[in-house]
């Protein structure tokens, strides 16, 4: 399996604080990679660097075999690299449909149109309709975001990203604050979306990560402790010491 | 419909003075409505909007002096000037927000004012420009109040239609997105500077069209039309009328100009009345007069539905 994303020797400091130190790992075509680690380990910072929101102090990124360090966040998105945020980031004043359409139009290349392109706009609308239908949300799409429950908002947040038809999807704690059942439904939507999409999933719930991921990378104090299949990670002594602790024994 | 009926009634019934006054309300209202695209939909509070409007007004006046008052030519000149100044301003401000945006637009607007004020040979400096030729359209000379008023009405309706179509289009939706959740918009691949720049161009073109007609209402244009105080006045009009409603801009400009025209006949302190209305609006009608009227209308509709 070839790698969609290769992160090589990435380091990042905030002042004197070393948020990431020599981080190296890859994400393979079609896999789900779990990214775990205690709060403050640098997971979100790593997402910010991968997506171009932050520049690394050292190291580089290859995406689809190409160096992308010079690309702006928008250009990375246009190549299929899509992220969500730890905090839900929807458009609260707009309807569910309009929230997802914002992404679907951009994907169809008509995000900034004023007039014309009726066919592509129609296709984007149809895509939105389909995403809402497939999601299992029992919503027509005409509801304002602020009228939805938190769990539903997080699902729409995910649908917005899926509307971009990502090649690499980076999910920053999408299941935080959700009930077990809601979290499972959300991950099911991700998995059923497109088997070719590679996913990097940050989550704190160990059961979710070990159940949903093909491989897991463990980050601690800005360093990759270990990266491998769930069995390998579970057995790793340094991971047990730093993070899993009693969890893995139980 | 209501707007068209109102315009026709006014054109038939009102006298010379009132028609010119109404034309001024419609023209300034159009400029304020274009400001609403920035403030209401983009969350971009600009203190330089009068510079777009006023520069276009001067360009139109100077063009008319040298080349005559052909309506389409004058409108084209104003639109081009409004869009050009907006492009300059847009290029500077697209990456800023809130306080910096406010100060930068203020400074850029004042640069335009400095140019107008000191370039006496062309602009007449502090005296402004008088004795402009009237507007003409084919064989018709549009110098009396009624055609000028109708022209202003057409401008206002066309601009309102254009603004609505902009807001409903993907570009307008993206503008709202950039106000609500700019970081997510970047993560969706949108370029926020691009959205803001394009919006500035549209707002500048509409303000420019309004500015083009403005000198011909009283056949005079002066430097106060580019001064930052007019920019601030436009924001006051917008808040009174209702931010984000588009049509409220016309209500706000009507209220403000009515106070300025009628109360100032009795007292120099007319700005106190403006202040009072402003405070009352902010306290009682957070969505301005437009929001208040809309609430009233829906309440009446509900009551009628209950009776039926
Ligand atoms: N922009 C920033 N400036 C300064 N410190 C930051 C910044 N972003 C993150 N940090 C710090 O870097 C560390 C890693 O943060 P983060 O990547 O958010 O961790 P995680 O997502 O794993 O919980 C934290 O200690 C955080 O306070
Ligand atoms: Mg985090």
Residue B71 lies in a domain: yes
Ligand 1 neighbourhood includes A42 CB (under 6 angstroms): yes
DSSP state of A56: -
CA distance A84 to A81: 11
Give pairs for B63-67: CB < 8 Å, separation 24+.
B64/B132, B64/B133, B64/B135, B64/B215, B64/B216, B65/B129, B65/B132, B65/B133
Q: Buried b / exposed e across A201-218, counting CB within 10 Å, b at 16+? A: bbbebbebbbebbebbbb
Could you tell me the pLDDT band of residue A248, with boundaries at 50, 70 and 90? very low
Give the number of whichever ligand sits closest to the CA of residue A13.
1
Residue in this structure with the two tokens 């999408």, named with its chain if needed: A174
Average pLDDT of span A165-177: 96
- d(CA B182, nearest CA chain A) in Å: 10
Q: Buried b / exposed e across B235-251, counting CB within 10 Å, b at 16+? A: bbbbbbbbbbbbbbbbb
The DSSP bridge partners found for residue B250 are: none
Concatenated DSSP letters of B31-78: HHHHHHIIIIIT----S-HHHHHHHHHHHHHHHHHHH--BHHHHHHHH
Q: Is A2 helix (H, G, I), strand (E, B) or coil?
A: coil
Residue B43 lies in a domain: yes
Average pLDDT of span A115-143: 93
Instruction: Compute how many other C-beta atoms are within 10 angstroms of the C-beta atom of residue B81.
Output: 27
Q: What is the mean pLDDT of chain B?
A: 95
Residue B305 lies in a domain: no
Contacts of A124 (CB under 8 A, 6+ apart): A101, A104, A105, A107, A108, A110
pLDDT, one tens digit for every residue, chain B (308 residues): 677 778 878 877 788 899 999 999 999 999 999 999 999 999 999 999 999 999 999 999 999 999 999 999 999 999 999 999 999 999 999 988 889 999 999 999 999 999 999 999 999 999 999 989 999 998 999 989 999 999 999 999 999 999 999 999 999 999 999 999 999 999 999 999 999 999 999 999 999 999 999 999 999 999 999 999 999 999 999 999 999 999 999 999 999 999 999 998 888 899 999 999 999 999 999 999 999 999 999 999 999 988 87
Give the number of whichever ligand sits closest to the CA of residue A12.
1
Q: What is the mean pLDDT of chain A?
A: 93
CA distance A22 to A40: 16
The helix (H) or strand (E) run that includes residue A31 is none
Beta-carbon neighbours within 5 Å of ion ligand 2:
A 43-44, 86
Counting from 1 in the atom list of ligand 1, the atom nearest the Cα of A41 is 22
Beta strands A32-36 and A215-220: pairing type? parallel
User: Are B20 and B220 a contacting pair, CB within 8 Å?
Assistant: no
Q: How far is the CA of B40 from the centre of ligand 2 (A)?
A: 33
pLDDT of the residue at B13: 79
Architecture of domain A1-80+167-250: 3-Layer(aba) Sandwich (3.40)
Angle at B253 between CA B252 and CA B259, to 5 degrees: 95
Residue in this structure with the two tokens 């969500």, named with its chain if needed: A84
pLDDT of the residue at A247: 52
User: pTM (2 decimals)?
Assistant: 0.93
Residue spans of beta strands (DSSP E) within A58-180: 58-63, 66-67, 81-83, 168-172
Beta strands A58-63 and A81-83: pairing type? unpaired
CA distance A214 to B195: 40
pLDDT of the residue at A3: 93
Residue B239 lies in a domain: no
- d(CA B168, nearest CA chain A) in Å: 9
Among protein residues, the one with the nearest Cα to ligand 1's atom 16 is A42
Q: Is B121 helix (H, G, I), strand (E, B) or coil?
A: helix
Contacts of A197 (CB under 8 A, 6+ apart): A30, A166, A167, A168, A169
Instruction: Name the residue among B194, B203, B219, B127 with its Cα closest to residue B159.
Output: B203
Interface contacts (A, B; CB < 8 Å): 78
Instruction: Name the residue among B6, B8, B291, B23 with its Cα closest to residue B155.
Output: B23
Domain ranges, ordered by start, for chain A: 1-80+167-250, 88-164
Query: Domain range holding B88?
Result: 2-225
Distance of CA B281 to the CA centre of its chain: 20
H helix runs in B119-191, sequence order: 120-123, 145-168, 170-180, 182-187
Token code pair at residue A103: 């992404």
pLDDT of the residue at A245: 59
Counting from 1 in the atom list of ligand 1, the atom nearest the Cα of A37 is 22
Helix then strand then coil, % of chain A, to nearest 5: 40, 25, 35
Average pLDDT of span A21-29: 97
pLDDT of the residue at B41: 97
CA distance B273 to B207: 27
Ligand 1 neighbourhood includes A12 CB (under 6 angstroms): no
B12: left (phi over 0), alpha (psi -120 to 50) or beta: alpha
Interchain contact, B195 vs A106, CB within 8 Å: no
User: Are A153 and A161 a contacting pair, CB within 8 Å?
Assistant: no
User: Are B211 and B74 a contacting pair, CB within 8 Å?
Assistant: no
Residue B170 lies in a domain: yes
Token code pair at residue A62: 């290859």
| Residue B198 backbone dihedrals phi, psi, to 5 degrees | -60, -40
pLDDT of the residue at A1: 60
Instruction: Compute how many other C-beta atoms are within 10 angstroms of the C-beta atom of residue A60.
Output: 13
Nearest CB to A74 within list B176, B181, B190: B190
Q: How many structural domains comprise chain B?
A: 1
CA distance A152 to A15: 38
- Residue to test with chain B: of A44, A107, A108, A111, most B Cβ within 10 A: A111
Residue B234 lies in a domain: no
In this predicted model, what pLDDT tens digit does every residue of A190-233 receive, in sequence order?
999 888 999 999 998 888 899 999 999 999 999 999 999 999 98
Residue B244 lies in a domain: no
Interchain contact, B184 vs A73, CB within 8 Å: no
């Amino acid at each position: 399996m070839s790698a969609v994303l290769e992160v090589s020797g990435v380091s990042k400091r905030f002042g004197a604080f070393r948020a990431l130190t020599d981080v190296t790992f890859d994400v393979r075509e079609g896999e789900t990679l779990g990214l775990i680690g205690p709060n403050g380990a640098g997971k979100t910072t790593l997402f910010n660097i991968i997506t171009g929101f932050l520049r690394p102090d050292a190291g580089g990124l290859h995406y689809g075999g190409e160096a992308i360090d010079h690309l702006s966040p928008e250009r990375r998105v246009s190549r299929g690299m899509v992220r969500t945020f730890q905090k839900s980031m929807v458009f609260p004043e707009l309807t569910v449909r309009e929230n997802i359409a914002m992404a679907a139009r951009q994907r169809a290349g008509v995000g900034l149109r004023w007039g014309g392109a009726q066919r592509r706009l129609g296709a984007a609308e149809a895509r939105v309709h389909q995403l809402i239908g497939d999601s299992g949300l029992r919503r027509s799409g005409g509801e304002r975001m602020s009228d939805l429950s938190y769990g539903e908002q997080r699902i729409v947040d995910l649908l917005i990203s899926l509307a971009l038809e990502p090649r690499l999807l980076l999910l920053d704690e999408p299941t935080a604050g959700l009930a077990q059942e809601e979290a499972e439904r959300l991950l099911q939507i991700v998995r059923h979306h497109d088997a070719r999409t590679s996913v990097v999933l940050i989550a704190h719930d160990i059961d979710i990560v070990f159940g949903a991921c093909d491989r897991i990378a463990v980050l601690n104090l800005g360093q990759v402790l270990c990266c491998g299949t769930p069995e390998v990670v579970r057995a790793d002594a340094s991971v047990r010491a730093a993070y899993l602790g009693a969890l893995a024994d139980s | 419909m209501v707007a068209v009926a109102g315009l026709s009634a006014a054109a038939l019934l009102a006298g010379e003075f009132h028609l010119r006054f109404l034309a001024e309300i419609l023209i300034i209202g159009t400029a304020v409505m274009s400001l609403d695209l920035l403030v209401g939909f983009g969350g971009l509070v600009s203190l330089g909007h009068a510079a777009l409007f006023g520069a276009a007004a001067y360009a139109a006046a100077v063009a008319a002096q040298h080349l005559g008052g052909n309506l389409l030519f004058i409108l084209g000149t104003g639109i081009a000037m409004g869009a050009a100044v907006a492009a300059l301003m847009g290029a500077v401000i697209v990456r800023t927000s809130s306080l910096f945006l406010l100060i930068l637009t203020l400074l850029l607007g004042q640069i335009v004012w400095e140019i107008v004020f000191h370039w006496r040979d062309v602009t007449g400096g502090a005296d402004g420009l008088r004795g402009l030729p009237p507007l003409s359209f084919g064989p018709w000379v549009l110098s009396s109040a009624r055609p000028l008023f109708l022209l202003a009405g057409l401008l206002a309706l066309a601009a309102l239609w254009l603004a609505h179509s902009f807001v409903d289009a993907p570009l307008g939706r993206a503008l709202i997105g950039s106000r609500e959740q700019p970081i997510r918009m970047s993560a969706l691949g949108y370029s926020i500077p691009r959205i803001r720049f394009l919006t500035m161009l549209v707002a500048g073109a509409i303000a420019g069209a309004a500015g083009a007609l403005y000198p011909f209402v009283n056949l005079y244009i002066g430097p106060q039309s580019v001064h930052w105080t007019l920019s601030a006045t436009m924001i006051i009009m917008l808040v009174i009328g209702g931010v984000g409603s588009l049509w409220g801009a016309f209500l706000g400009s009507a209220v403000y100009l009515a106070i300025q025209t009628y109360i100032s006949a009795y007292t120099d302190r007319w700005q106190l009345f403006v202040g009072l209305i402003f405070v009352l609006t902010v306290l009682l009608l957070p969505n301005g007069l437009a929001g208040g009227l809309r609430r009233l209308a829906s309440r009446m509709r509900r009551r009628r539905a209950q009776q039926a």
